[in-house]
A and B are shown apart, each in its own frame.
Chain A
Amino acid sequence: MVSDPERELAGMARRTVLIVGGGDPADSIAAGLDPTAWDVRRLDDDAQPWTDRTVTDALPDLTELDLVVHARYPAAARHRASLMDLTIDDWNEQADAPLEAAIRLARGAHPLLAEASGTIVFLVPLMASAGGEGFAAMATAAEGIRIFAKSLAKTWGDDGIRAHAITLDPSAFLDDANAAGMAEANSLHDPPLGRVPDLAREVAPIVAALTTDDFTALIGASLVVDGGLWMPG
């Protein structure tokens, strides 16, 4: 935390963030965090199955984490496909395994987050809460992860850990061809912002802000940062 007396006395040592997932939005969030304030660590191997020890095995020098950002969805899940065209192996790869990986990430990161009274933020595509034609597997994993963030917030408050989810426009996760039509499927208006948010310039600061003392009372939030394209009740 910024107000931690030891950190202040130490001249505001950089805080440690672990960003999990390859491609966007993980890459842009990593690029958008101030390198003078954050020591950015990455785990972006989408292919390997995750265990409770994946974080500590890959990054054994970590002793604490101020922030974990989860944006890990396999490349195969980011392509439009009818549910009827998925094999059980596809489903496991695109839905069950990513959901379990997020759970394993949380379990493995818990002691590191507790050490720093840290924050964990899950980035999810709009399909999680609004559904996505051709993205049933990704939406299944993502909505499970979004709700998981709320459960963590309830459970880990006593440990000083905060948990949130941020819903982003599908284009943050999909290439242009796969994202085509997704905005129109969810909204009859253009985003009031005039465009979808820039991940590095406009979303990364929100993620960072969630770790500060200004947001101590925000617990288990499910924020939508999409430029106003979708305004859930």
Chain B
Amino acid sequence: MSTPPTPPLPTLTGLLEGRVAIVTGAGQGVGEGIAAAMAQAGASVIIAARRAETGEPAAERIRAAGGSASFVRCDVTARADVDAAVAFSIEQFGRLDVMVHNAVSPPGPPRAIQEVDDETIALQIATSTTAAFHCAQAAFPHLQADYGSLILLTSPAGIEGSGNLPLYGAVKGAQRGLLKSLAREWGPSGVRVNAIAPVAWTPAMDVATAANPTLEARLRGRTPLQRIGDPEADIGPVAVFLASPLSRHMTGQTLAVDGGRYLGL
């Protein structure tokens, strides 16, 4: 299948000038793509990642491209780590405008819920819901200072469920219950809360397509735009949009950035 024509991406420069963003799980994949796009838009970006071996190089790549990026080691399931990332933002930049909770725990191989091991259940809940609570609560006092934004990375599985990954669908759906409630709760303070449900090239997608050689073609065949999203060029700009005043009248929304794969949701 040939790649369909894709329009060039306009510059993001200036959209987030002077803003500071924390992106969790930004050592690779969608998180790194969002961090890179936000840096391109002028934000000072804090790569909050559990592993220095991915977080440091991700920050270096952004700096090499002319952006501002710092790495902070952060296990999002540990409140002290999330608080430390927020404290770093305040100490270094005097502000925090955007909190992006993107970090996920590997959902494991496809299987029915009764076959999922206890450790995976605990990690999935801790990384997606407990960590979302940590990120939201730690960031809010600073977000409300200047029309800040909380962005959660959910999944189409969190909207339509998943037969292969039922636990993943549950925790990603749970994030949407949180974001809609916080959109109501924080709206009067000017803080907006939105989500992105992406389909994009990630390390997990690389593994899945390597294990199943027909997967990419089948996925593209079911996607009107006939390609899988690029984390920086396709998902990143939408995160920039949600973080910027361009979306100032949007809150409580989930944007499916999936090439049209899940039109029915």
Chain A residues at the B interface, C-beta cutoff of 8 Å: 82-84, 86, 88, 91-92, 95-96, 99-100, 103, 106-107, 110, 127-136, 139-156, 185, 220
Contact A84 B112 (CB under 8 A): no
- Interface residue ranges of B163-208 to A (CB < 8 Å): 163, 165-167, 169-185
Contact A131 B252 (CB under 8 A): yes
Contact A140 B177 (CB under 8 A): yes
Name the 10 nearest CB pairs between A and B, nearest first: A131-B180, A143-B177, A147-B173, A150-B161, A144-B174, A154-B163, A151-B166, A151-B161, A136-B181, A139-B177
Contacting A151 at CB < 8 Å: which of B137, B162, B184?
Answer: B162
Known contacts A151-B113, A154-B162; A92/B173 CB under 8 A: no
Chain B residues near A131 (CB-CB < 8 A): 177, 179-184, 252
Instruction: Report the stretch among B19-27, B53-61, B62-70, B128-136 that lies at the interface.
Output: B128-136
Chain B residues near A133 (CB-CB < 8 A): 181, 184-185
Contact A134 B185 (CB under 8 A): yes
Known contacts A84-B137, A151-B161; A146/B173 CB under 8 A: yes
In the complex, whether B71 has a CB less than 8 A from a CB of chain A is: no
Q: Report the number of A-B residue pairs with Cβ-Cβ less than 8 Å.
A: 146
Contact B177 A142 (CB under 8 A): yes
Chain A residues near B79 (CB-CB < 8 A): 88
Chain A residues near B161 (CB-CB < 8 A): 147-154, 220
Distance from B236 Cβ to chain A, minimum over Cβ atoms (Å): 26
Chain B residues near A106 (CB-CB < 8 A): 113-114
Known contacts A107-B114, A151-B163, A154-B161; A185/B184 CB under 8 A: yes
Contact B174 A136 (CB under 8 A): no
Contact A99 B162 (CB under 8 A): no
Chain A residues near B169 (CB-CB < 8 A): 147-148, 150-151
Within the assembled complex, what's the spacing in Å between the Cα atoms of A130 and B183? 10
Q: By CB atoms of chain B within 10 A, which of A88, A132, A155 has the most?
A: A155
Within the assembled complex, what's the spacing in Å between the Cα atoms of A150 and B156? 12
Contacting A99 at CB < 8 Å: which of B112, B129, B183?
Answer: B129
Within the assembled complex, what's the spacing in Å between the Cα atoms of A4 and B248? 57
In the complex, whether B215 has a CB less than 8 A from a CB of chain A is: no
Within the assembled complex, what's the spacing in Å between the Cα atoms of A97 and B172? 16
Chain A residues near B121 (CB-CB < 8 A): 100, 103
Chain B interfacial residues counted at CB < 8 A? 43
Chain A residues near B84 (CB-CB < 8 A): none
Contact A148 B173 (CB under 8 A): yes
In the complex, whether B158 has a CB less than 8 A from a CB of chain A is: yes
Contact B133 A83 (CB under 8 A): yes
Distance from A177 Cβ to chain B, minimum over Cβ atoms (Å): 18
Contacting B166 at CB < 8 Å: which of A92, A128, A136, A155?
Answer: A155
Known: A146-B173, A153-B161. 7 other contacts (CB 8 A): A100-B121, A139-B177, A144-B174, A147-B173, A147-B174, A150-B169, A155-B112
Within the assembled complex, what's the spacing in Å between the Cα atoms of A105 and B2? 47
Contact A99 B174 (CB under 8 A): yes
Known contacts A88-B79, A127-B177; A155/B182 CB under 8 A: no
Contact A148 B180 (CB under 8 A): no
Contacting A147 at CB < 8 Å: which of B159, B178, B183, B252?
Answer: B159
Contact A103 B170 (CB under 8 A): yes
A–B Cβ pairs within 8 angstroms, 25 of them:
A83-B140, A88-B133, A95-B129, A99-B174, A100-B121, A100-B125, A106-B113, A106-B114, A107-B114, A110-B113, A110-B114, A131-B184, A132-B184, A136-B178, A140-B133, A140-B178, A141-B174, A143-B177, A145-B170, A147-B158, A147-B173, A148-B161, A149-B161, A154-B166, A155-B166
